[in-house]
C-alpha cells in the first residue's frame, strides 16, 4: 500500500516513541473482554493516537493495541501460517526500537493490561516464541517452519521428537534483532525442553537475536505445571541434555555470573 511521505513520516515518528513491546500467546476466544468475535469473525483491535478503531479480518488471529509508549500483540495459541508471518513482521518492526520486551504464553483468563512493563531493557520470552524469532531470522522460510511445527505435533511427548533435525544455512548479522536489551529471561515449561536443543539448529548465532556481551543478566526459568520440580531433576537425561545444548548456544562460559537458572512452580 502506498502512502504519502508526510503520513509515513508521522507514523515513523510515532513508532520511535514505542519503548515497550508485549506479546501474548493465548486462546483469544477465552479472553474476558468487551471485544468479542462477531458472527465468527476474528478481529484485531487497533488504537492509534488514543482513538480506538475496530478492523475486522476473516483470517487474522492477532489482536493489537497501541498506546503512546507501548505496543501489545495477542496471537491465538492455535495460530496459522499467516499469523506466524504477521507476528514476526511486527516483532521485527519494533525490535530495534523497544527497550522492554515481555512475551508470555497465557494459560488462564486475563486482560490486555494484566502485565505492566516498568523495568527498562528487560526481555521475557516464552521459549516457543523464541523459536519463532530465531526461525524468522534464519534462512528458513516461515511457511516451511510452520509446516515443520505441525509435523512435530504428531510426536509431542514422544521419543521421536528429539530425533527431528533441521538443516539451515548459516546466517550472520552484524546487529542484534534486539540491540538495546540488558536483561533476558527465557521461560521453559516441562514439555518444551526439546525446543531448547532445536534452537542451535537454525544456524543463528546468539548475538543475532540479542547482544550477549552487553547483557547484564541472562535467566532461564524452568516452569513445572504439576506443582513439583521432579521434571527438572538432573537425572532426566533428555531434559538435561537439551538444556546443555542451549547453554552452549548462548555461550554460558562467557556469561559467568550473569547467568541465572531458576525453578518455578506457578501459584494456583
Report pLDDT digits (tens) over 110-121. Answer: 343 433 333 324
pLDDT of residue 248: 95
Mean per-residue pLDDT over the chain, rounded: 73
pLDDT classification of 49: cutoffs 50, 70, 90: very low
- Give the bridge partners for 22, in sequence order: 72, 102
pLDDT of residue 200: 92
Mean pLDDT of 231-238: 59
pLDDT of residue 206: 92
The 8-class DSSP code of residue 30 comes to G
Comparing CA positions, the residue from 103, 88, 94 lying closest to residue 18 is 94
pLDDT of residue 245: 93
pLDDT of residue 164: 67
Could you give the C-alpha distances from 59 to 41, 62, 116, 219, in angstroms and in order? 8, 9, 29, 36
Q: Which of 64-68, 207-211, 231-235 has the lowest mean pLDDT?
A: 231-235
CB atoms within 10 A of CB 83: 18
pLDDT of residue 202: 94
How far apart, in whole angstroms, are the C-alpha atoms of residue 91 and residue 73? 9
**Residues 6 or more apart in contact with residue 195 via CB below 8 angstroms:** 127, 128, 130, 131, 188, 242
Mean pLDDT of 173-194: 83
pLDDT classification of 158: cutoffs 50, 70, 90: low
Judged by DSSP in three states, 8 sits in helix
CB atoms within 10 A of CB 104: 18
Mean pLDDT of 93-101: 78
Considering 93-97, 103-107, 128-132, the range whose residues carry the highest mean pLDDT is 128-132
8 A C-beta contact, residue 63 and residue 73: yes
Report pLDDT digits (tens) over 184-211. Answer: 888 888 788 889 989 999 999 999 998 8
Domain spans, the chain: 12-113, 121-268
Q: Is the pLDDT score of 15 beyond 90?
A: no
DSSP symbols for 211-229: -TTT-SEEEEEEE-SSSSS
How far apart, in whole angstroms, are the C-alpha atoms of residue 218 and residue 233? 21
- Residues in the chain, how many? 268
β-pairing, 51-57 vs 42-48, is antiparallel
8 A C-beta contact, residue 213 and residue 244: no
- Looking up cell 509515513 gives 8
Q: Is the pLDDT score of 124 beyond 80?
A: no
Q: Is the pLDDT score of 229 beyond 90?
A: no
pLDDT of residue 20: 77
Judged by DSSP in three states, 65 sits in strand
Amino acid at each position: 500500500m502506498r502512502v504519502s511521505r508526510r503520513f509515513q513520516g508521522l507514523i515513523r515518528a510515532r513508532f520511535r516513541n514505542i519503548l515497550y513491546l508485549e506479546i501474548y500467546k493465548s486462546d483469544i476466544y477465552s479472553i474476558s473482554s468487551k471485544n468479542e468475535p462477531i458472527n465468527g469473525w476474528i478481529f484485531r483491535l487497533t488504537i492509534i493516537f488514543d482513538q480506538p478503531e475496530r478492523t475486522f479480518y476473516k483470517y487474522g488471529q492477532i489482536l493489537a493495541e497501541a498506546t503512546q509508549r507501548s505496543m501489545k500483540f495477542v496471537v491465538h495459541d492455535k495460530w496459522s501460517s499467516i499469523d506466524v508471518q504477521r507476528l514476526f513482521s511486527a516483532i521485527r518492526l519494533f525490535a530495534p526500537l523497544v527497550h522492554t520486551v515481555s512475551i508470555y504464553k497465557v494459560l488462564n483468563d486475563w486482560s490486555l493490561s494484566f502485565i505492566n512493563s516498568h523495568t527498562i531493557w528487560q526481555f521475557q520470552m516464552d521459549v516457543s516464541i523464541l523459536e519463532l524469532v530465531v526461525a524468522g531470522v534464519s534462512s528458513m522460510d516461515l511457511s516451511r517452519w510452520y509446516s515443520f511445527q505441525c509435523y512435530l505435533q504428531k510426536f509431542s511427548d514422544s521419543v521421536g521428537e528429539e530425533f527431528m533435525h533441521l538443516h539451515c544455512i548459516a546466517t550472520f548479522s552484524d546487529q542484534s534483532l534486539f540491540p538495546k536489551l540488558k536483561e533476558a529471561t527465557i521461560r521453559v515449561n516441562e514439555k518444551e525442553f526439546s525446543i531448547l536443543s532445536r534452537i542451535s539448529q537454525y544456524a543463528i548465532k546468539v548475538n543475532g537475536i540479542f547482544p550477549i556481551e552487553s547483557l547484564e543478566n541472562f535467566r532461564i526459568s524452568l516452569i513445572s505445571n504439576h506443582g513439583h520440580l521432579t521434571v527438572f531433576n538432573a537425572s532426566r537425561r533428555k531434559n538435561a541434555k537439551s538444556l546443555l545444548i542451549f547453554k552452549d548456544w548462548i555461550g554460558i562460559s562467557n556469561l559467568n555470573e550473569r547467568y541465572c537458572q531458576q525453578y518455578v512452580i506457578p501459584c494456583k
